[in-house]
Structure 1
Amino acid sequence: MKEIIVIRTSDPDGSVFRSILEALQGKDVQILHAADLEPSTLTLGDIEIFPEQRRVTKAGVEICLNYGEFSILYCMARCPGHVFSREQLYNAAWGEDCELGTNTVDNTIWRLRNKLEANPKHPTYIKTVFRVGYKIEIAHG
């Protein structure tokens, strides 16, 4: 049986981590650092997303995104090509179920396109999937 142990602690000098490693000495253990699992920067053409700082730049210029805009963009950018429903995007941004009939996600996508796309009416990155939701496409060329 495999077991997974997740430990999150404030450990400025590394002493907690070292004592855990000592306790596991000689055991069949694989250690994964969560920081190694997430890329530090996501790149979509000339758009760069810096998750730790919740920053986005386009061609090197910082783009000011609100909480919902950043959360929805980051959710989609982590899985280019994957189609997300409005409900999934709403949940990713606000951590709660989407109210029926709300157009919050559509309005947020509209604002993102206006801030990030060269031509928001013909988006390069944030694509609508008719009757399903939205996805990120990485521009080529």
Structure 2
Amino acid sequence: MKKNIHFISLDSILAEWLRDRLEQEPPQSAYAKGLLAGLRELLNDEASTLVLGVAGSRGNLSDTADDGIYAGELSIHPKSRKVLRQGREISLTPKEFDILYLLAQNRGEVFTKEQIYRAVWDGDFLLADSNIMAFIRKLRKKIEPNPDAPEYILTIWGIGYKFNDQL
């Protein structure tokens, strides 16, 4: 079974080495500049997490013109950090976007509240179930046509949350 997500810690030594290598010998890839920019943000403390994904569908390393994730009337664009429903932009906080993107990128995979915390917040954290529940509730109010009967972010009782893989 293929893993959908894997967390790897990156220290400053490795981040600096990767940055230097990309600056000295940039590969012929449309994504090299994005990775370099992300590494610079990490090293300048402008970002705390860098999320990497494979371009294309089904894990194929291929270029894609569109970076969007589409589900029903919802589209999520990670490069511009925009979310649209029926073509209208929805304003999300950075953490709301990160949670939504994590779930949507791993459609159908169930995440516990602790896994969501580890993916979205950096370093040590105080896990409070009500914290994640509050973020999910706010996110549903913004993206769901009917937040009381969610279509996108589904609750898996006793476990956590998943993004609907039937859309």
Query: Which of 54, 59, 73 is matched with 1:37 structurally?
Result: 54
Q: Which runs of 5+ in 1 are unaligned?
A: 1-5, 22-30
Query: Which of 106, 112, 128 is matched with 1:85 structurally?
Result: 112
> Which one has a bigger Cα radius of gyration?
1
Q: CA deviation at 1:65?
A: 0.3
1:126 maps to a residue whose letter is I
1:75 aligns with 2:73: no
Query: Which of 78, 93, 102 is matched with 1:51 structurally?
Result: 78
1:37 maps to a residue whose letter is V
Q: TM-score, with normalisation over the residues of structure 1?
A: 0.72
Please give the residue correspondences for 1:1-141 in structure 2 after superposition, counting only pairs within 5 Å: 7-8=18-19, 16-17=25-26, 37-38=54-55, 40-140=67-167
Question: Could you tell me how far apart the structure 2 residues matched to 1:128 and 1:58 are?
Answer: 21
Aligned partners of 1:77 and 1:136 also within 8 Å? yes
Q: Which runs of 5+ in 2 are unaligned?
A: 1-16, 35-52, 57-66
Higher relative contact order structure (alpha carbons within 8 Å, sequence separation ≥ 6)? 1
Aligned partners of 1:48 and 1:56 also within 8 Å? yes
RMSD (CA atoms):
2.8
Q: CA deviation at 1:73?
A: 0.3
1:114 maps to a residue whose letter is K
